[in-house]
Structure 1
């Protein structure tokens, strides 16, 4: 199978750099074809701007969405954007690997999403009407592919638990897993988390690699997070609100995940690695 690993850490000798090298080796050893987009090594341009089109009109007002659509539809995207889109189309699975910085992904990775997820490629796809609101949230250009996060953080696992000070890790990662990955069609696997990174010695690193290796071995067989597809009947269209008879009176991010103890809406098991 074809796997794209998008890596976002500035230091090759970091824990993230070592995990990236391990993941590539493990995947190739299993017979997969692997491409790596090492964003810092590539000196990836993070900012979306008018220069992302090779047919920029001098003095014209820049419209991020419409200019992105024009560039995508007319083959005048900058070469780096088109190249990453080709990798996404080539891949059967995509892994985003990054440290959790200020409750989100590093800016360079967010910039990769901003620029590569062009209008007409990752969004603005499909029919928009009173009966259907585009091909997204379970459908879209990247449907049929799998995706997984590998995330490191210095905090303890308890800090990201159901009552932890940082908030539940599944809530923190929801905008990435549901909004960036599920939106254009990916089946999203539970994330692989590494906590208390500052306490990683050789023995603990070996344990982390063992656990990560097991997750990578099941990349194409593990059950994905059961996010609710937008167009399968759970949502009222065009309001895009969950039907009133589903989990009546309950709100929050967890209502958009089906079949996991809906009565009390417990936190998802995130395949977490204990510190």
Structure 2
């Protein structure tokens, strides 16, 4: 296998959160496979997710210059084979940090609008607090999968993978052995990386 490059973008206000631990597991597993990994921790990097007037696309000008932060962060995607977005699911959607990152950085004239998206593969990994059965019952799994894959198609991304880790709060399925439960979630995260190199 040729040398692969992975870029992980993640968001959680706590640096010791389960989301952070998942990122560490993914990073370790990717490194084990010889993948070069770089990580963007949106909270600790001081990223501002608020889209301002200067971030608004100019539909008549795909060469518009956005703030330097936007161009710097978009530049970090170049040369990456895989971009992995890791986030907790809040209110059945992204945290504001992830949404703001997508709106500001994956912008017109950069990620789309005559430009080719720089990475061939995007993997979305959402940590869902509750059970898979409840998530599916109300159609959220189908909803989010179709939304994210549709966004990938719009951007011309060759591969778009959407995965969920369920019951990350560990309260909906009568879990008695919490340690084993969370070790199982870590194993699932590592297996997502394994699947990329098969």
Please indicate the TM-score interval, normalised by the length of the shorter structure: 0.7 to 0.9
Structure number with greater CO (CA < 8 Å, separation at least 6) is: 2
Instruction: Indicate the residue corresponding to 1:124 in structure 2.
Output: 113
Residue pair 2:86, 2:126 contacting (<8 A) in 1 also:
yes
Equivalent residues in 2 for 1:232-247 (5 A)? none
Indicate if the aligned counterparts of 1:92 and 1:145 stay in contact, CA closer than 8 A: yes
Cross-structure match for 2:139: 167
In structure 1, how many angstroms separate the alpha carbons of the residues matched to 2:116 and 2:58? 18
CA shift, 1:79, in A, is 2.1
Residues 8, 39 of structure 2: 8 Å contact kept = yes
Residues 84 and 125 in structure 2, CA contact (< 8 A), matched pair in contact too: yes
Q: 1:23 aligns with which of 10, 21, 26?
A: 26
Tell me the CA shift for residue 98 of structure 1: 0.4
- For residues 219 and 32 of structure 1, what CA distance do their matches in structure 2 show? 10
Conservation of the 8 A alpha-carbon contact between 2:79 and 2:119: no
> Is the contact made by 1:51 and 1:78 (CA closer than 8 Å) also made in structure 2?
yes
Tell me the TM-score normalised to structure 1 length: 0.63
**What does residue 6 of structure 2 align with?**
3
Higher helix share: 2
Q: Are residue 65 (structure 1) and residue 57 (structure 2) matched?
A: yes
Which residue of the other structure, out of 139, 145, 152, is the alignment partner of 2:127? 152
- Distance, in Å, in 2 between the alignment partners of 1:35 and 1:79 is 20
Cα drift, residue 144 of structure 1: 6.2
CA distance in structure 2 between the aligned counterparts of 1:33 and 1:98, rounded to whole angstroms: 21
Give the match's secondary structure for 1:90: coil
Larger Rg: 1
Within 2, Cα distance between the matches of 1:121 and 1:98? 23
Question: What is the CA–CA distance in structure 1 between the aligned matches of 2:118 and 2:135, rounded to whole Å?
Answer: 30
TM-score, with structure 2 as normaliser = 0.85
Q: Could you tell me how far 1:218 is from its partner in structure 2?
A: 1.7
Separation in structure 2 between the aligned mates of residue 103 and residue 91 of structure 1, nearest angstrom: 28
User: Which sections of structure 2, spanning at least 5 residues, go unmatched?
Assistant: none
Give the corresponding residue for 2:153. 182
Q: Is the 8 A contact 2:5 2:81 kept in 1?
A: yes
Q: Helix, strand or coil for the counterpart of 1:159? A: helix
Distance 1:220 1:186, change over 3 A: farther
The aligned counterpart of 1:209 is 186
Describe the SS at the equivalent of 1:218: helix
1:192–1:212 CA contact under 8 A, matched in 2: no
Q: What's the C-alpha RMSD, in Å, of the aligned pairs?
A: 2.1
Note the residue ranges of structure 1 that are not aligned, 5 or more in a row. 53-63, 126-139, 222-275
Q: What is the number of equivalent residue pairs in this alignment?
A: 189
Match of 2:98 among 109, 115, 134: 109
Cα displacement (A) at 1:211: 2.1
